[in-house]
Amino acid sequence: MKPILRDPRVQAVLAAVLVAYLKLIRRTVRWRHENFAAVEPALAADHGALALFWHGRIPLCLVMGDVWRVRPKRRCMISPSADGAFLSVALEALGYPAIRASSAKKGDSAKARALVAAFREAVNWVDDGGVLVVTPDGPRGPNEVIAPGSVQIAKRTGAPVYLMGMAASPAIRLKDWDKMLVALPFGRGAMVWDGPCYAPADADEAAVEALAAEWSARLAAATRRAETLVQGRAD
C-alpha cells in the first residue's frame, strides 16, 4: 500500500480530493470562534509563533489556516510517512508548505539525523518570524498527548504558543488511533483559542515534560469546549 501512496500521481489525486473537502467544510459549516482575542496580537505581530492542534482534527484545519493566513510566513510540520506525503501536497496548495519531521525509533540513525535537521529548520523558521503549525501528538500518538518536540521549539525560540481546540457536528469519528473527526457539510463548527503559552529558555528536561503535560491538558480542554459549543450545550 505504501508504494502506491508514494506514487506522485496518486498523491496528486489524494491531495486534490483533500483540498476540495477542506474548502467544502470551510464554506458550508457555520463556524464560531471563542476567545479569539487571545491570538489577535500574534496576527498583527512580526515575531514567530507556534500553533498547535490535535492530529485527529486535521479535517477541520482549513478554518485555522484561514486565520493564520494574514501572516506572510507560515508553514506546517508534517510526517514523512506515506500518509503525510499527500497531506503535505494538499497543505502546500493551500499556502502552508511543510517541514517533514517525525519521531525516530531507537537505533534508527537515519531517521534521527532527519529529525535533527527538521528540528533545526523549524527553529530557524520561527526565529526568522514565521508561524509554524504543528499537530503535536502525530503521527503515531498517543492521542491528545503533546510530544516534547513542540515545547523544545518554543524553548529554543522564545516564541508564543497558541492552542487551538476544534470540533464540528455532525461528523464521523473514525476508529483509528487519533479518533479522527471528519466533518459533514452544512453543520456547526467551533474553534476555541488558548494562549499564549511560553517555554522558559532555561527549562530542563523535567520542566519540558511538565509543560508538555500542562499544554496537553489545556489543548484537550479547549477541544472539549469546542465539542460542547457545536452540540449547543453552551451559550
As a whole number of angstroms, the distance between CA 204 and CA 199 comes to 10
- The domains of the chain are located at 2-230
Mind listing the pLDDT tens digit for each residue in 98-119? 998 655 555 556 666 777 889 9
Q: Which pLDDT does position 10 carry in this prediction?
A: 80
Q: Which pLDDT does position 161 carry in this prediction?
A: 98
161-173 and 181-197: which strand pairing? antiparallel
- The three cell numbers of residue 113 are 539525523
As a whole number of angstroms, the distance between CA 196 and CA 49 comes to 9
Mind listing the pLDDT tens digit for each residue in 25-37? 999 999 999 999 9
> CB count, 10 Å around CB of 218?
18
Domain 2-230's class?
Answer: alpha beta
Q: Which pLDDT does position 11 carry in this prediction?
A: 80
Spell out, as residue ranges, where the chain has pLDDT lower than 70: 1-6, 81-83, 101-112, 233-235
Q: Which pLDDT does position 219 carry in this prediction?
A: 98
Q: Which pLDDT does position 53 carry in this prediction?
A: 97
Instruction: Judge whether 147 and 174 are in contact, CB under 8 Å.
Output: no
As a whole number of angstroms, the distance between CA 102 and CA 114 comes to 9
Q: Which pLDDT does position 141 carry in this prediction?
A: 82
Q: Which pLDDT does position 108 carry in this prediction?
A: 57
- Provide CB contacts within 8 A for 69, sequence distance 6+: 95
